[in-house]
């Protein structure tokens, strides 16, 4: 009886040990799966540096991406050239979206770890005025009038370079009163009626819901392409954000805000 009980106990003990072994093995496997899935992403927000002209569109893009993925997005907007300098100075950034490829490539040349660049949108520079056009600005030629208050972006940022291209194409020497660090400054001055006219993007006019009016668009159009890229080291969430921007949902949002698909 004693021997029989010992054999029974040994059998029970062996069964329990076997079950424990299988449980431990399963937990170890689950742990391995968790580690494998976690090494590509984190609980940290995706830090996105984006051109000032993307404020409205990327605000909506970030919200939609977070709703879909659960990943927070932290946005930093400024003139593309200012963002480039921040990146070259070592700022923490996961994704860079520039208002032209020249600035993007300059940033990539000065800091290792830029992923492949993809064009996400195209924008057009236009001559805009406050609704009502109180000073009767009719064309780019009117900007030669020193009596008008005219604003453009500084030449160091893409919208400033495009403004100079516009003037050269039209053969006009514009009487410019302000050279601002990014296009949102020009838009703000126009909305406050500090300026009679300004060179801004088509998307900026769309975003004002009629508060600004396009007076003229160059022919051929003065356009710029917007590249986007992941900046390493970054986890999979950064690439997921880029993929979202380039996908149908992101492109639809950009289109609503006046951008054109590449």
Q: Is residue 190 over pLDDT 80? A: yes
Calculate mean pLDDT across residues 30-40: 34
SS3 146: coil
Token readout for 59 is: 């605000």
Dump pLDDT digits (tens) for 206-238.
Answer: 999 999 999 999 999 999 999 999 999 888 999
Residue 198's nearest CA partner among 130, 259, 127, 249 is: 127
Q: Is residue 14 over pLDDT 50? A: no
Q: Is residue 15 over pLDDT 50? A: no
pLDDT number for residue 42: 58
Number of other residues whose CB lies within 10 A of the CB of residue 173: 10
- 32 touches 178 (CB < 8 A): no
- 253 touches 64 (CB < 8 A): yes
Judged by average pLDDT, the poorest of 35-44, 120-129, 168-177, 182-191 is: 35-44
Dump pLDDT digits (tens) for 37-87.
Answer: 333 455 899 999 999 999 999 999 999 999 999 999 999 999 999 999 999
Number of other residues whose CB lies within 10 A of the CB of residue 181: 17
Taking the C-alpha atoms of residue 82 and residue 84, their distance in angstroms, rounded to an integer, is 5
pLDDT number for residue 220: 96
Calculate mean pLDDT across residues 240-245: 98
Taking the C-alpha atoms of residue 27 and residue 242, their distance in angstroms, rounded to an integer, is 34
Q: What are phi and psi of 242, to 5 degrees?
A: -60, -45
Q: What are phi and psi of 127, to 5 degrees?
A: -90, 120
Q: What are the residues facing 50 on neighbouring strands?
A: 77, 97
Percent of the chain with pLDDT over 90: 82
pTM above 0.85, yes or no: no
- 227 touches 97 (CB < 8 A): yes
Taking the C-alpha atoms of residue 11 and residue 16, their distance in angstroms, rounded to an integer, is 9
Q: What would you measure as the largest C-alpha separation in the chain, in angstroms?
A: 115
Dump pLDDT digits (tens) for 154-172.
Answer: 998 999 999 999 999 999 9
Calculate mean pLDDT across residues 253-259: 98
Q: Which residues contact 58 (CB under 8 A, 6 or more apart)?
A: 48, 50, 75, 77, 97
Q: What are the residues facing 51 on neighbouring strands?
A: 78
């Amino acid at each position: 009886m004693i021997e029989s009980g010992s054999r029974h106990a040994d059998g029970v003990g062996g069964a329990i040990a076997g079950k424990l072994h299988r449980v431990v093995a399963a937990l170890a496997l689950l742990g391995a799966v968790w580690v494998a899935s976690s090494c590509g992403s984190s609980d940290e927000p995706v830090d996105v540096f984006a051109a000032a002209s993307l404020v409205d569109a990327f605000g909506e893009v970030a919200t939609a991406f977070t709703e879909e993925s659960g990943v927070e997005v932290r946005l930093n907007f400024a003139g593309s050239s200012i963002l480039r300098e921040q990146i070259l100075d070592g700022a923490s950034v996961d994704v860079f979206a520039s208002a032209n490829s020249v600035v993007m490539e300059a940033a990539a040349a000065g800091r290792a770890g830029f992923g492949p660049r993809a064009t996400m949108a195209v924008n057009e520079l236009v001559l805009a005025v406050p609704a009502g056009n109180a000073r009767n600005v009719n064309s780019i030629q009117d900007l030669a009038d020193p009596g008008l208050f005219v604003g453009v972006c500084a030449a160091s940022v893409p919208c400033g370079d495009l403004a100079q291209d516009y003037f050269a194409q039209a053969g006009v020497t514009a009487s410019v009163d302000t050279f601002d660090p990014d296009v949102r400054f020009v838009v703000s001055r126009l909305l406050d009626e500090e300026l009679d006219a300004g060179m801004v993007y088509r998307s900026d006019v769309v975003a004002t819901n009629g508060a600004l009016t396009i007076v003229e668009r160059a022919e051929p159009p003065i356009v710029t392409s917007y590249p986007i890229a992941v900046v390493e080291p970054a986890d999979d969430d950064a690439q997921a954000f880029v993929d979202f921007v380039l996908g149908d949902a992101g492109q639809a949002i950009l289109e609503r805000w006046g951008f054109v698909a590449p």
